[in-house]
């Protein structure tokens, strides 16, 4: 459970035996109030606590549906973690290891709070982290089940390796760049539903567009979102047009400059960019023919 924006404890606790407690992750990060850190609830017998499990599924499903309509919705129900009897009787190691993964140390920089447990983040980890990294992330749990933003129950693929040894999670600079795009992806996914494109862009396409914006030298979320949106609405080569290339040159090192510049373009200029992109696509198609 992640109580940062909404805490489901009061609604769920009536379905648990009296005396059941929250086991909070001991996350050490300057931006995190320990009282609001994520917590676990250990369920010893699923059959005895079937009502509680059903309630958590219902809350998680509603949160997922709200996320489809609101880019800034929260996900308080994060995951269901299968564990063995030893871990259930003494979850100290599980709490410690999960908490350790929530802080990413960068040389000479402020530690990052890695909210890997948010289902919207977890959904992207299979394409970003290696199997060994994902095993380190969930250890000593046996798995990680969550409701995917697409609305289905999903198991994080961690692989099986008998010789696996638990090691601290280490993330490369390239992976950090990908992880930084995950919150932007949620916003772009929400925007894309308004484009009414057929078929609608999927997450890999949306993320690729955000990555192109970064390669174009943009660093601010607003600028990258506008660049990615334009690549779908105006064409993937819209950046080569003189109007746009001039804006990109002006925007280097100036957060927000590109987004505001694109907003000032007239409808005539936008249509000119779109027509230019269409002509380029036709010429390329002719060469391939």
Q: Residue 23, SS3?
A: strand
Q: Please check whether residue 4 lies inside any domain of the structure.
A: no
Domain count, the chain: 2
> What is the residue-level pLDDT of the chain in tens, covering all 289 positions?
999 888 999 889 888 877 788 999 999 888 888 888 999 999 877 788 889 999 999 999 999 988 777 766 789 999 999 999 999 999 999 999 999 999 887 767 788 899 999 999 999 999 999 998 999 899 899 999 999 988 899 999 887 665 556 677 888 888 988 888 888 988 888 888 788 777 778 888 999 999 999 999 999 999 999 999 999 999 888 999 999 999 999 999 899 999 999 999 999 999 999 888 766 554 454 444 4
pTM for the predicted model, two decimal places: 0.81
Other beta carbons within 10 Å of 1? 21
Contacts of 200 (CB under 8 A, 6+ apart): 192, 193
User: 233 lies in a domain?
Assistant: yes
Shared domain check, 149 and 121: yes
Residue 2 in domain: no
DSSP code per residue over 187-212? HHHHHHTTTT-SSPPPHHHHHHHHHH
**Residue 105 domain flag:** yes
Using an 8 Å Cβ cutoff, are 135 and 202 in contact?
A: no
Is residue 210 within 8 Å of residue 221, measured between CB atoms?
Answer: no
Shared domain check, 133 and 78: yes
The verdict on 111 and 201 lying in the same domain is no
Boundary residue ending a domain (125, 149, 171): 171
pLDDT of residue 71: 65
What pLDDT is stored for residue 107 in this prediction?
67
Length of the chain: 289
Domain final residue, candidates 171, 204, 220: 171
Domain interval for residue 93: 9-171
Centroid of chain to Cα 261: 28
Instruction: For residues 218 and 251, state if they share a domain.
Output: yes
């Amino acid at each position: 459970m992640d109580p940062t924006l909404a805490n489901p404890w009061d609604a769920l606790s009536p379905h648990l035996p009296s005396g059941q407690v929250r086991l909070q992750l001991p996350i050490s990060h300057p931006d995190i109030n320990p009282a609001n850190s994520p917590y676990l609830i250990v369920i010893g017998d699923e059959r005895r606590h079937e009502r509680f499990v059903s309630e958590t599924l219902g809350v998680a499903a509603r949160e997922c549906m709200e996320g489809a309509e609101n880019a800034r919705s929260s996900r308080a129900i994060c995951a269901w973690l299968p564990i063995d009897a030893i871990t259930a009787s003494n979850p100290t190691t599980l709490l410690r290891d999960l908490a350790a993964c929530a802080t990413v140390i960068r040389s000479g920089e402020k530690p990052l709070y890695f909210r890997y447990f948010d289902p919207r983040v977890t959904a992207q980890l299979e394409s970003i982290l290696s199997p060994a990294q994902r095993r380190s992330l969930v250890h000593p749990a046996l798995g990680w089940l969550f409701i995917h933003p697409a609305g289905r129950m999903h198991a994080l693929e961690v692989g099986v390796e008998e010789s696996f040894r638990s090691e601290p999670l280490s993330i490369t600079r390239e992976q950090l760049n990908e992880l930084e795009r995950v919150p932007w992806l949620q916003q772009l996914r929400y925007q894309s539903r308004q484009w009414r494109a057929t078929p609608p862009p999927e997450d890999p396409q949306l993320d690729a567009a955000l990555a192109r914006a970064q390669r174009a030298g943009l660093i601010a979320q607003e600028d990258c979102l506008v660049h990615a949106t334009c690549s779908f609405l105006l064409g993937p080569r819209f950046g080569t047009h003189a109007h746009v290339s001039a804006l990109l040159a002006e925007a280097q090192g100036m957060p927000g400059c590109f987004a505001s510049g694109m907003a000032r373009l007239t409808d005539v200029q936008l249509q000119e960019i779109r027509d230019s992109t269409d002509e380029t696509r036709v010429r390329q198609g002719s060469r391939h023919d």
